Chains A and B, each alone.
Chain A
Amino acid sequence: RKEVEQDPGPFNVPEGATVAFNCTYSNSASQSFFWYRQDCRKEPKLLMSVYSSGNEDGRFTAQLNRASQYISLLIRDSKLSDSATYLCVVNVGRTDKLIFGTGTRLQVFP
């Protein structure tokens, strides 16, 4: 079983749509959770950290369910510029090491 699992997609959605991505992780000792965005042939960039209480940043909402070891990302009012691969990232237990999911590809069309 992979340590961080994501649906690879692609998710093809029209502009303005709401889209949700899910992620599961296997290490119950993980403490830190993130969503990163990676554009084609570029390095990953932090989109947002994910907190137990859930958090929102503009059109983006992240949720964490520790009991189910499940993380989600909701994007509202999708823009063309949201087209990218979204990486679910979890730290290794109580260390600084990060484990990346394979990513979910999003393609927003006009």
Chain B
Amino acid sequence: GAVVSQHPSWVICKSGTSVKIECRSLDFQATTMFWYRQFPKQSLMLMATSNEGSKATYEQGVEKDKFLINHASLTLSTLTVTSAHPEDSSFYICSARDIQRIGETQYFGPGTRLLVL
């Protein structure tokens, strides 16, 4: 089955640090990847849609200058949390859609836990 990886799986950093999270589709190509955030006991919230070769589309209320997204290839999207603060501590999950499989749902990465001290 389709596999999506994320790296790192967890990160602890000091306030003010920038953190980069990678999302890779391992055995398929994805023109579109999605970035979600999940706070404890809450649902996944879509942050942005990452489009290969073009700018990401951000959801309302998500600061594009704070959450930088780059989708440079059909198998890799990165999310950079710039100048992270404790309120950015969360579970960040990416998903990808296989461009060869029309109608298929998204495949989720295992997530990255971010703790900002």
Contact = CB atoms under 8 A, between A and B. Distances in A.
Interface of A: 32, 34, 41-46, 49, 87, 96-103
Nearest to A99: B46
Interface string B88-117: 000101000100000001101111010000
A35 B60 CA distance: 25
Contact of B111 (A43, A46, A97): A43
A46 B105 contact: yes
A87 B36 CA distance: 14
Interface of B: 32, 34, 36, 42-46, 49, 91, 93, 97, 105-106, 108-111, 113
The 3 closest A-B pairs by CB, nearest first: A102-B43, A43-B108, A100-B44
B111 A96 contact: no
Contacts, number: 40
A87 B111 contact: no
A96 B113 CA distance: 25
Contacts of B49: 96-97
B108 A98 contact: no
B34 A97 contact: yes
A100 B43 contact: yes
Given A98-B46, A100-B44, A101-B43, A34 B105 contact: yes
B105 A49 contact: yes
A100 B44 CA distance: 6
A18 to B, nearest CB: 26
A45 B42 CA distance: 16
Contacts of A46: 105
B83 to A, nearest CB: 26
Contact of A43 (B32, B34, B45, B93): B93
A82 B93 CA distance: 23
Most chain A C-beta atoms within 10 Å of own C-beta, residue among B36, B44, B109: B44
Given A87-B44, A96-B32, 20 more contacts: A32-B105, A34-B105, A41-B91, A42-B110, A43-B93, A43-B108, A43-B110, A43-B111, A44-B44, A44-B93, A44-B108, A45-B108, A87-B43, A97-B46, A98-B34, A98-B46, A98-B105, A99-B46, A100-B43, A103-B43
